[in-house]
Amino acid sequence: MGVLKQMAEYLYIRKKDPNANPTQWMKYMHGINRISILLFLFALVIILIKAILR
């Protein structure tokens, strides 16, 4: 369940843990992960649209 919670935090579906003490590098890592997840979801949507329109 930890992976789903983390993805929900990346996509702003769930609030972040207020007790967590992230470092600057951790913020960078989470930002890069957020971008990669969003690009992956965008690519899946494009693939699904192409598959449906064929």
Q: How far is CA 46 from the centre of its chain?
A: 17
Question: Is-contact 14 8, C-beta < 8 A?
Answer: yes
**The total number of residues written for the chain in this structure:** 54
Question: Is-contact 9 16, C-beta < 8 A?
Answer: yes
Residue 5 identity (one-letter amino acid): K
User: pLDDT tens digits for 1-54?
Assistant: 577 777 777 776 666 667 777 788 878 887 888 889 889 999 999 999 999 998
Verdict on whether the full-model pTM lies above 0.85? no
Tokens 């965008």, located at residue: 42
